Structure 1
Amino acid sequence: MSHVNLFDNLDFGVAEDYERLDLPPPSRTLQGLTYDKAALRSLGRQAFADMAFYYPLGHLEKLVQIILDPEAGDNEKFVAKTLLENAAVAAEGVFPMCQDTGTALVYGWKGEGIRGGESSEADASILDASILDAGISEAYAEKRLRASQMGPKTTLLETNTKDNLPSFVDIRSCQGSDYKFLFAAKGGGSISKASLTLESPAILNDQSLEKILAARIGALGASGCPPYTIGVVLGGATPSQALYAMELSVYGMFDRLPSEADGSGQALRSAEWEEKLYRIAQAAGPGAQWGGTHLALETRFVRLARHAATLPLAMGVSCSAHRKARAYMDETGWYLEKLEKNPKRFLKALNLPSGEAMEIDLSQPRQTWLATLRGLRKGTRVLLSGPVCLARDVAHAKLHTLLAKGETLPPYLKDYPVFYAGPTEAPQGYASGSFGPTTSSRMDSYLSPFMARGGSPVTIGKGGRSLQAREAMQRHGGVYLAAIGGAAALAGKENVKASVVVDFPELGMEAVRLVTLDKLPALVVIDANGEDFYS
């Protein structure tokens, strides 16, 4: 085979998967199809507005399967039920499904028969990226989506860009007379789970490859908000090709790949290794965040051609906030993938109890709620009510700098549990926007110096903590709780009753807040004895 093109195998489903948008179709000219740039901008805006609130149908159906699985534990059934409830709240169009409304990702494939009126295709792609950026920015502003992108001022100094730009736009030329897109929004927790190594070809045997994959999956943990879609790509002409294919695989874009190849360079998808990935994930431990076997919702395994001396191995995930939408333009118009607008129908068919949980009143004196939490063992489910302090990365860094200058910690870091979170903007009539935990391990280096000065007695976030953090908690009688990642719309609407900025207002979503909770579910992950639920 003289040329193997991955684009030929992209899975764009069937016509019934899409709805036609009310946008002007392209016009036919001597040069090909010419499209309206304003329509492209509107497509980007609509895609990212939809993805913030609506899930793909197949993703929700997989969550239902966890609830119906007779072997699933109570905790993971509760998490899956909570994620479905979150989908129902998000679909009301007020609270985004996740507080981390993500880095905007656009993958495009532009047919050779498509023209935008520019002097060259390179100019056209650059302009299209700018136009898509404008549409994405409109969506984030109109829907009050969180701005999470940090722009450098120097090598070490940076600031929030305030509009969630720049996005990632990758437009490639291909054969045909249509323009195809995959839109995705990916939060920091799941992006951080991507890994790439260059392996020796000596691992191309069942035992060695399975051992490496088991170590990779075992390291995923719960901080990326499982249940995950796990994608693995073995091979690739370059490391960047392996990463590119992995990014697409977790969104099902290579589901049409053949299961066998003839050795000429054709890529393949391995059902056998997808099953192995799933079994490895079942045994990994974190399950659907609070233990169990459902760390993976789905798995994908893609094998690519490679240079004889290199073997790239890429792994990544899409999290429980599975935000993706395909789109295309052809001579008949613009089309965007349908997303599920009525998740409540799944909940009506399920009648699950909430399970037992201990109510914790954080409005009591500090010594009272702290003694109560210190008395709980790892794995205990709780419902948190009362005030907590919200502080995350930048606030922690600033407070640590104050300590280095000989200053003291502010009272809010000592008097309340510290919740690692940065919510979206509050809708009218509500105290908070979408509200969910961020990855706790990023704050691990601050824990020992803060706790030594009476700060951070109880911390709340998502995922596991390092040995360093666990030892600090054991020394100082600290407790760590995990909230459910990926349920921010539900928490923002139902579990937050008040929110006020108390420090660093210039930090935007990273400002320190005092927030009043009402029965927010959480799990004791590290107890005051240093026992770790995830160990």
Structure 2
Amino acid sequence: MPITEEHVAQSVAEALQYISYYHPPDFIAAMSEAYAREENPGAKQAIGQILTNSRMCALGHRPICQDTGSVNVFVDIGVEAELAWTRPLQEIVDEGSRRAYTHDDNPLRASIVRDPLDARKNTGDNTPAMVQVNMVAGDKVEITVSAKGGGSENKSKFAMLNPSDSIADWVVNTVETLGAGWCPPGMLGIGVGGSVDKSMAMAKAVLNEPIDITELRARGPRDRVEELRLEILDRVNALGIGAQGLGGLTTVLDVKIRHFPTHAASLPVSLIPNCAATRHLHFTLDGSGPAEFAAPDLSLWPEEIASETGDAVRLDLDALDEATLAGLAPGQTVLLNGTLYTGRDAAHKRMVETLDRGEPLPVDLKGRAIYYVGPVDPVRGEVIGPAGPTTSTRMDKFTDRILSETGLKLMVGKAERGEAAIEAIRKHGAVYLIAVGGAAYLVSKAIKSSTPVAYQDLGMEAIYELRVEDMPVTVAVDTKGQSIHEIGPKRWRRSA
């Protein structure tokens, strides 16, 4: 029987919907193990929130993360497969992606911009997908679909090492510089050999392999690749970066390595991390119809997860003053209540351009708080869709200007801030808080109203006025410029 275009398109669409709200079972198991052994209360709470969010998404069929990712599709076509295709595979896959991202019951956030060099206008349906094709033996079509978030994708690295250099040293040293913008705990995909492009392709593809590091450690390594996986895992976790960069025992859940013959004078090495919103699914098409996917058993999720924040301090966002802000300390859990504005890359750029013209901003930010977020569209009576934080360092270059000229006092995002931003925070007596990346649906439940107030043409990057109740966050940088992303990892660093 022929494998049709509809078999491919519909399978891709259903797979993308599936992975938007179901974590892979091996990831849930690995995160549950990490939760059980974590000793840092802050990191344990972060992992607990990720697991709680994961179960909520599985039940509610809503996205795990507000960044529903770029679509990556890996296609192995059997040379004997009977294909009833008249369109290029790229167009067929894009049709499936379009169906998934514009689904009425669970629309996914469109994040792809058409022209990366100019206007960067959003395509509106998250196409085109990133498609990799191999011709293999057999008469079937094997497809792996993954959704890769921008926070982890932006941390990808490549190096052309000398053949005598240590791959483990380069990986460990590189991960130490990545910060927490890739939302650990996650996985590391490593491609070694081939060429520059081959190395990167292998690092991306190997992230879709099952997590099996516990079994590997139990039986012992059988070759140099497995030895290297264990060495890198132990050394990276010994850095003490921990969940969300708060410091802790688990930074990576597994290390995957794929290699290929290379030039005698070369050692190309690529590193691509996968975040706490790890999302991928494999299926086979044989001509009998679109793939079918069974829902995972809810017993996969641990029953006892302490994601609650009983020792947290409530903060009134409508009554921020210097004394209140000065009393916040790095690592402290805070529950936000009151008015919270949204605004990320495009909104910050436009605000600065407005200030450059000497014009007033459309929103008065004096004494207020802003949340770096681009939420998913709401459905079925929701106030807002999944609304987790975006990487805050992208706002660093705007921070001093915004704080000094608007009177903004509090920022909420994810991961660390750079030196210039921390100095601006200290100078202006502001505070930076972090929400848990990978817990977007959980965070959205604390948002009780959402009203667009400016820049609606920017879509998910518009400025909204939110009313929040007990939104859980952690103090990352206090008014003195002390950062939990420096304090935490130093406290939990250990010898591998």
Report the Cα distance in structure 1 between the residues aligned to 2:307 and 2:111, rounded to whole angstroms.
35
Matches within 5 A, 1:493-512: 494-512=445-463
1:198 paired to 2:198: no
Matches within 5 A, 1:149-298: 149-152=112-115, 155-203=117-165, 208-236=166-194, 238-252=195-209, 270-289=225-244, 290-298=246-254
Check the 8 A contact 2:412/2:433 in 1, yes or no.
yes
Residues 341 and 110 (structure 1 numbering): CA distance in 2 closer, same or farther, change over 3 Å?
same
Q: What is the Cα deviation at residue 408 of structure 1?
A: 3.5
Alignment partner, residue 44 of structure 1: 12
Q: Deviations over 1:182-237 (max 9, x none)?
A: 1000111011111111112231xxxx44332221110222111111111222222x
Question: Which deviates more, 131-140 or 507-516?
Answer: 131-140
Question: Which deviates more, 91-100 or 438-447?
Answer: 91-100
Alignment partner, residue 136 of structure 1: 97
Q: What is the Cα deviation at residue 415 of structure 1?
A: 4.0
Residues 337 and 156 (structure 1 numbering): CA distance in 2 closer, same or farther, change over 3 Å?
same
Report the Cα distance in structure 1 between the residues aligned to 2:55 and 2:188, rounded to whole angstroms.
25
Report the Cα distance in structure 1 between the residues aligned to 2:90 and 2:212, rounded to whole angstroms.
27
Matches within 5 A, 1:55-66: 55-66=23-34
1:441 paired to 2:403: no
- Choose which of 291, 315, 320 in structure 2 pairs with 1:366: 320
Q: What is the Cα deviation at residue 127 of structure 1?
A: 2.0
Report the Cα distance in structure 1 between the residues aligned to 2:68 and 2:270, rounded to whole angstroms.
24
Residue aligned with 2:365, SS: helix
Check the 8 A contact 1:391/1:513 in 2, yes or no.
yes
Residues 117 and 250 (structure 1 numbering): CA distance in 2 closer, same or farther, change over 3 Å?
closer
- Choose which of 397, 404, 416 in structure 2 pairs with 1:464: 416
Paired amino acid for 1:148:
S
Residues 88 and 361 (structure 1 numbering): CA distance in 2 closer, same or farther, change over 3 Å?
same
Alignment partner, residue 303 of structure 1: 259
Alignment partner, residue 220 of structure 2: none
- Choose which of 292, 298, 304 in structure 2 pairs with 1:342: 298
Matches within 5 A, 1:387-406: 387-406=339-358
Residue aligned with 1:75, SS: helix
Q: What is the Cα deviation at residue 402 of structure 1?
A: 1.2
1:330 paired to 2:286: yes
Q: What is the Cα deviation at residue 366 of structure 1?
A: 3.5
Paired amino acid for 2:429:
G
Check the 8 A contact 2:476/2:483 in 1, yes or no.
yes
Alignment partner, residue 24 of structure 1: none
1:513 paired to 2:464: yes
Residues 331 and 430 (structure 1 numbering): CA distance in 2 closer, same or farther, change over 3 Å?
closer
Report the Cα distance in structure 1 between the residues aligned to 2:179 and 2:294, rounded to whole angstroms.
31
Alignment partner, residue 477 of structure 2: 526
Aligned residues: 475
Q: Deviations over 1:320-353 (max 9, x none)?
A: 111100011125555456553526x634255676
Check the 8 A contact 1:226/1:296 in 2, yes or no.
yes
Check the 8 A contact 1:254/1:269 in 2, yes or no.
no
Question: TM-score, normalization: structure 1?
Answer: 0.84
Check the 8 A contact 2:430/2:479 in 1, yes or no.
yes
Report the Cα distance in structure 1 between the residues aligned to 2:125 and 2:84, rounded to whole angstroms.
29
Report the Cα distance in structure 2 between the residues aligned to 1:415 and 1:165, rounded to whole angstroms.
40
Check the 8 A contact 2:27/2:211 in 1, yes or no.
no
Alignment partner, residue 318 of structure 1: 274
Residue aligned with 2:341, SS: strand
Report the Cα distance in structure 1 between the residues aligned to 2:261 and 2:133, rounded to whole angstroms.
22
Report the Cα distance in structure 2 between the residues aligned to 1:353 and 1:250, rounded to whole angstroms.
31
The structure with the larger Rg is: 1
Check the 8 A contact 2:45/2:306 in 1, yes or no.
no
Question: TM-score, normalization: structure 2?
Answer: 0.91
Alignment partner, residue 380 of structure 1: 332
Check the 8 A contact 1:281/1:293 in 2, yes or no.
no
Q: Deviations over 1:461-482 (max 9, x none)?
A: 0011110111111111111111
Report the Cα distance in structure 2 between the residues aligned to 1:161 and 1:472, rounded to whole angstroms.
35
Question: What CA RMSD, in Å, does the superposition of the two structures yield over aligned residues?
Answer: 2.2
Paired amino acid for 1:507:
L
Residues 40 and 497 (structure 1 numbering): CA distance in 2 closer, same or farther, change over 3 Å?
same
Report the Cα distance in structure 2 between the residues aligned to 1:508 and 1:529, rounded to whole angstroms.
35
Report the Cα distance in structure 2 between the residues aligned to 1:39 and 1:55, rounded to whole angstroms.
24
Q: What is the Cα deviation at residue 373 of structure 1?
A: 2.5
Alignment partner, residue 405 of structure 2: 453
Report the Cα distance in structure 1 between the residues aligned to 2:99 and 2:291, rounded to whole angstroms.
19
Check the 8 A contact 2:191/2:258 in 1, yes or no.
yes
Q: Structure 1, unaligned stretches of length 5 or more?
A: 1-26, 28-33, 119-123, 260-267
Q: Deviations over 1:125-184 (max 9, x none)?
A: x622212211211111112111111112x8332211111111112222222111001100
Check the 8 A contact 1:498/1:517 in 2, yes or no.
yes
Residue aligned with 2:257, SS: strand
Residues 80 and 253 (structure 1 numbering): CA distance in 2 closer, same or farther, change over 3 Å?
closer
Residue aligned with 2:59, SS: coil
Residue aligned with 2:355, SS: helix
Residues 355 and 219 (structure 1 numbering): CA distance in 2 closer, same or farther, change over 3 Å?
farther
Paired amino acid for 2:286:
D
Report the Cα distance in structure 2 between the residues aligned to 1:64 and 1:346, rounded to whole angstroms.
8
Residues 63 and 500 (structure 1 numbering): CA distance in 2 closer, same or farther, change over 3 Å?
same
Matched-pair identity in %: 29
Check the 8 A contact 1:328/1:334 in 2, yes or no.
no
Report the Cα distance in structure 2 between the residues aligned to 1:210 and 1:178, rounded to whole angstroms.
37
Q: What is the Cα deviation at residue 254 of structure 1?
A: 11
Paired amino acid for 1:271:
E
Question: Which deviates more, 91-100 or 393-402?
Answer: 91-100
Check the 8 A contact 2:70/2:129 in 1, yes or no.
yes
Residue aligned with 2:432, SS: strand
